[in-house]
């Protein structure tokens, strides 16, 4: 005896093959217009979040049985979140260009003195041996 479920499954599969094979199934899109950009989607989500915070603020204000300290803390946090979203929704402010650094002045070249002579001995006209100034300057 033939199972009715097996026969109906084969008939429906054959009908599906015929419909798809003839091209009766076409690709469609739910939205024929342009897709919103990522920036537009972000702004929309921020606006929805702001509206949610407005409703949350109203609900917290109506919660008269809550402890005053907790209620004030919740309202402060909601105000902080709303300020952040308002800042994000505001017009994009381009940062000011950083000023160029001032050019560094050229170093003044000071003539080198002879190591063996100190200013006092140069003025007196006598020379001091290098071993007295620094023993590591003496060649061996």
CB environment 54-93: b (16+ within 10 A), e (fewer)? eebbeebeeeeeeeeeeeeebeeebeebbeebeeeeeeee
Question: Are the beta carbons of 41 and 47 closer than 8 angstroms?
Answer: no
Q: Could you tell me the residue ranges of all domains in the chain?
A: 37-89
Q: What predicted TM-score, i.e. pTM, was given to this entire model?
A: 0.44
pLDDT in tens, the chain (140 residues): 567 888 888 888 988 888 777 766 667 666 667 888 888 899 999 999 999 999 999 999 998 888 989 999 999 999 999 999 999 888 766 778 888 888 888 887 776 655 555 555 555 555 555 556 666 666 66
Q: Shortest CA distance to 80 belongs to which of 63, 57, 98, 102?
A: 57
E strands in 12-111 = none
């Amino acid at each position: 005896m033939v199972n009715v479920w097996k026969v109906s499954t084969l008939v429906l599969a054959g009908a599906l093959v015929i419909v798809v094979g003839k091209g009766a199934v076409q690709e469609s899109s739910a939205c024929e217009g342009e897709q919103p950009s990522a920036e537009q989607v972000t702004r929309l989500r921020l606006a929805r979040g702001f509206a949610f915070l407005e409703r949350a603020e109203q609900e917290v204000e109506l919660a008269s049985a809550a402890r005053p300290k907790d209620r004030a803390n919740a309202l402060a946090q909601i105000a902080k979140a709303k300020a952040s979203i308002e800042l994000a929704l505001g017009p994009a402010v381009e940062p000011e260009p950083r000023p160029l650094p001032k050019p560094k002045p050229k170093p003044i070249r000071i003539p080198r003195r002879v190591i063996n002579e100190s200013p006092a001995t140069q003025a007196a006209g006598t020379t001091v041996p290098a071993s007295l100034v620094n023993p590591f300057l003496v060649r061996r």
